[in-house]
Structure 1
Amino acid sequence: MKSTTRRTLAAVVTGVAAAVGVAAAPAAAAGAIPVPVPLGGAETALGMELPDVAGELPVLTPGAPEGPRYVEGRLLPERTLPQLPVRSGLPGVDLRQPLPQVLGDGFDHAAVEAPATELRALAPGLSLDAPLSAPDGGSFGLPAAQLPQAGVLTPVVQTVPAADLGVGPGL
């Protein structure tokens, strides 16, 4: 393959990669994707006021796991299967329901707004130790027998959900 062909191919691949990266960046940077629920056609067909509904779906972003940690006196690292951190969010919702006024022709509304909130999690991990100890200088460099050890690193979930319930004039 000629060098000019290689350069042209490299430029095309770089351009395509940049275009794909630019297209994917807004969705990943947003954290949550808005999801409107269109009910305008049902309002027209039923001849009545329906609630306004909108939602948000979170974007899942996995993190980099913390690597195994070597400890003196053990043959295997402390975290044989490390925990994987994951960031996401709880889905959000915005709901406005019209309420007829007792006096007058206007409408009031009842609203529930629960924004998408951040969710941090750690997947479960595993810690193992071999049935042999580290080589010992006192026994001519041979390892001693010991009981095998296994431990499960518990999963962690952290979030602070919030919601707002209110009643007000207009829709």
Structure 2
Amino acid sequence: MKPTTLAAVVTGLAATVGAAGPAAAAGTVPVSLPLGGVSRALDMEVPRLRAEVPLVKPGVPDGPRYVTGRLFPERTLPQLPVRGGLPGLDGRAPLPRLLGDDFDHLDVRSPAGDVRALTPGLAVDPPLTAPDPGRSGLPATKLPEAGLVAPVLRTVADGTLATGPGR
């Protein structure tokens, strides 16, 4: 491998790692739709669109909780916390006026929002109790138990939709 090729590869890797650091710290990755060339080629105003795509970050599940009198833990399949975000959107589009040569604009803005969620969990208990010393260490029978722990979703969504004159 030539030294110039190696230098180009190292420079590309450094640029990629340098760009990924701030995006990972912010929790979103900015994405723009580049239409500047179309605007200059057609000599007219085109829509502008930018978005923020959230990064999903799984958390640490809450471990099993042992309860006296149960053979299995309280939550057989624990819930997994997940943090992420709602995608953000910033757009501006020209709206032609019916009378006249000027344009109005339609603006859409929705900032990226924080989302916190817990995945569904499962609670199961078999039809046997824990070993009973009064019965020579043998378990007793009981009705089996099974339950689904409901998922949780918390977020706040915000946004604006506006129209206006001018460029």
Instruction: Give the TM-score range, shorter chain.
Output: 0.7 to 0.9
Give me the TM-score of the superposition, normalised by structure 1.
0.78
2:119 and 2:104 map into 1 onto residues whose CA distance is: 46
1:64 aligns with 60
**Is structure 2 residue 118 aligned with structure 1 residue 122?**
yes
Q: Which amino acid aligns with 2:41?
A: A
CA distance in 2, matches of 1:32, 1:170: 31
Q: TM-score, with normalisation over the residues of structure 2?
A: 0.79
Total equivalences in the alignment: 151
For residue 108 of structure 2, what is the aligned residue in structure 1? 112
Structure 2: runs of 5+ lacking an equivalent: 1-13
- Residue 153 (1) aligns with residue 149 (2): yes
Deviates more, 1:27-36 or 1:133-142: 133-142
Q: Distance in 1 between matches of 2:23 and 2:36?
A: 27
1:76 equivalent in alignment to 2:77: no
- The two structures, once aligned, show a CA RMSD in angstroms of 2.2
Write the deviation string for residues 17-68 of structure 1: whole angstroms up to 9, x where unpaired: xx9xx75542321111110111122223333211111111001111111001
Q: Cα distance, 1:92 vs. partner?
A: 1.1
CA deviation profile, 1:84-139 (whole Å, cap 9, x unmatched): 00000111111111234678765442201011111111111111112210122332
**Do residues 89 (structure 1) and 85 (structure 2) align?**
yes
Counterpart amino acid of residue 86 in structure 1: V
User: Are 1:30 and 2:26 matched, yes or no?
Assistant: yes
For residues 54 and 25 of structure 1, the distance between their equivalents in structure 2, rounded to whole angstroms, comes to 20
